[in-house]
Structure 1
Amino acid sequence: MEQNRILISQGNRPWWQIIVAALFYTAMIACLYHYFIEISLRASPRIIRRSTVYLQLAIFFFAGGFSFSVVKDYYFDIKKRKYKIQFCVGPVKMGIWKKFRNLNYISVFRNGRNIYEVNLWYDRNRHFNLMAASEATTALLMGKQLAEKLDIDLLDATFPHNSKWVDKNP
């Protein structure tokens, strides 16, 4: 039986990032608490303007917590020619199915920071950055597995100006 759905997930966040996110969210709740207490107890226009600092801090802390806790998953439905990028924060998941015409190929290349990235190219010149690895062999292995599952070509561009198509069946 042919598998038509593919999931590529970032996995779980490291424990230290979860702790940092929890600290940000706790600070956000404390700021919101102070904001609403200030407004309900002393509702003069001057106090309300001054207490908006708490609201601004709450927004800042929410953004910090979100950046340390969000996980990005990619879903592909090959049969229906759709994909979804799903953002997950704990049990909350958000994403929208979108259509694509063609999956072109997978490329593996080294960026300017000596990190190897695996990209999925679709609809001619659009792409997803699916993963990054510090070693070329790891990135190429992941790229090869994805290319086999999606039944598309793999481009090895780990050496600049010397890219080559990889044979999936050696």
Structure 2
Amino acid sequence: MEQKEILISQGNRPFWQIILAALFFTGMLICLYFFFNTFNIFESTKKVRNSLNFLTVAIFLFGGGISFSIVRDYHFNFKEKKYKILFCVGPVKIGSWKSFKNLEYISVYRNKKNFFEINLWYDRNRHFNLAIQNKADIALIIGKELAKKLKIELYDATDPHNPKWVDNLKT
């Protein structure tokens, strides 16, 4: 049975990040409250500037809240050869369909920060960074499972001096 659609999700954010996001959003709402209660275009320039400072802080707090609550999901439709990257904040999901010609392979390699990245390569030189792990064996297990689901090859570059293709299609 051929699988036509696959959804790869980052899952849920850790609880401490949800708490931080809630604090940022609460601070944003408080700043917006003070902005709307103190802003009056007919006041002196100094009072208008002070009111606008609340709005500026609210914008920065909103950005902090988003950065601690956003989750990326990858949705692939192989029948129509399209993909969609969904940016999710709670129940709100934003993303649009884009086309790809063909999937090439999954790669697992160590980056400069000594983490192992799992990438999906498509259309010759384009790729998605699907996940990051701190252990090579876990990253390879994830890479193998993805390659098996997608029926493509796996490139193991966890050892940069000895990269190799893993014959994943026979297992």
Q: Is 2:35 the counterpart of 1:32?
A: no
SS at structure 1 position matched to 2:68: helix
Q: Which residue of 2 aligns with 1:83?
A: 83
In structure 1, C-alpha distance between the alignment counterparts of 2:154 and 2:27, rounded to whole Å = 46
Aligned to 1:69, what secondary structure does the other structure show?
coil
Question: For residues 92-107 of structure 1, what are the structure 2 equivalents within 5 Å?
Answer: 92-107=92-107
Paired residues for 1:16-165 under 5 Å:
16-40=16-40, 43-46=42-45, 47-165=47-165
Any conservation in 1 of the 2:39–2:52 contact (CA below 8 Å)?
Answer: no
Q: Which runs of 5+ in 2 are unaligned?
A: none
Could you list the structure 1 runs, at least 4 aligned residues long, displaced by more than 3 angstroms after superposition.
none
Q: How many residues are aligned here?
A: 169
The CA RMSD measured in Å over matched residues stands at 1.2
- Counterpart Cα distance in 2 of 1:39 and 1:135: 52
**Equivalent pairs: percent with the same residue?**
60
Amino acid at match of 1:44: E
Q: Counterparts of 2:52 and 2:19 in 1: how far apart (Å)?
A: 27
Q: Secondary structure at the match of 1:120?
A: strand
Distance apart, 1:49 and its partner CA:
2.5
- CA distance in structure 2 between the partners assigned to 1:56 and 1:43 by the alignment: 20
- Other structure's SS at 1:12 match: coil
Measured after TM superposition, the shift of residue 135 of structure 1 is 1.1
Mapped to 2, the partners of 1:12 and 1:27 lie a distance apart of: 23
Q: Does 2:1 align with 1:11?
A: no
CA distance in 1 between counterparts of 2:140 and 2:133 reads 9
Query: Which one-letter code corresponds to 2:43 in the other structure?
Result: S
CA distance in 1, matches of 2:18, 2:82: 31
Residue of structure 2 equivalent to 1:166: 166
The whole-number CA distance in structure 1 between the counterparts of 2:61 and 2:145 is: 39
How far the C-alpha of 1:4 sits from its partner, in A, is 0.7
* Partner Cα separation in structure 2 for residue 6 and residue 147 of structure 1: 12
Secondary structure at the aligned position of 2:3 is classed as coil
TM-score using structure 2 length: 0.95
Q: CA deviation at 1:27?
A: 0.3
* Secondary structure of 1:56's aligned partner: helix
2:26 & 2:19 partners in 1: Cα distance? 10
